[in-house]
Amino acid sequence: METKRWIIDKDSPQKEFIDEAAALLSRGELVAFPTETVYGLGACAFNPEAVMQIFEVKGRLPQSPLLVHVSNQTQVKTLVTAIPAPARLLMEHFWPGPLALILPASAQVPGAVLGGKTTVGLRMPAHPVALALIEKAGPIAAPSANLSGRPSPVSAQHVLDDLGGMIAAILDAGPTGAGLESTIIDLSLDRPEILRQGGLPVEELEALLGCGLKAWSSAKPAYKTGDMEIILGEDGGLWMSLMTEADRDETAIVHYGEIPALGMAHSIKTYTLNLEGQGQNLFAIIREAEAKGYKKLIFAPLPSALSGVGRALAERIRRAAGRQ
175 has pLDDT over 90:
yes
pTM, 2 dp: 0.95
CA-CA-CA-CA dihedral for 218, 322, 311, 54, to nearest 10: -60
Of the three residues 215, 242, 275, the one that is the final residue of a domain is 215
| Cis status of the peptide bond prior to 62, with omega within 30 of 0 | no
Strand pairing class (119-123; 99-104)? antiparallel
Can you give the CATH number for the domain in which 285 is found? 3.40.50.11030
> Any idea how long the chain is?
324
Taking the CB of residue 237, how many other CB atoms lie within 10 A of it?
10
Q: What confidence tens digit (pLDDT) does each residue in 54-93 have?
A: 999 999 999 999 999 999 999 999 999 999 999 999 999 9
Tally: H helices and E strands in the chain: 11, 15
pLDDT digits (tens, 9 = 90+) for 269-280: 989 898 887 656
Q: Is residue 224 part of a domain?
A: no
Q: In the 8-state DSSP scheme, what is residue 115?
A: T
**Based on the structure, what is the number of domains in the chain?**
2
Return d(Cα 65, Cα 55) in angstroms, integer: 10
Name the residue range of residue 315's domain.
229-320
Whether residue 67 contacts residue 5, with contact meaning beta carbons closer than 8 Å, is answered with no
Whether 148 and 65 share a structural domain: yes
Hey, which bits of 206-288 come out as E strands? Answer: 214-215, 229-232, 251-255, 269-272
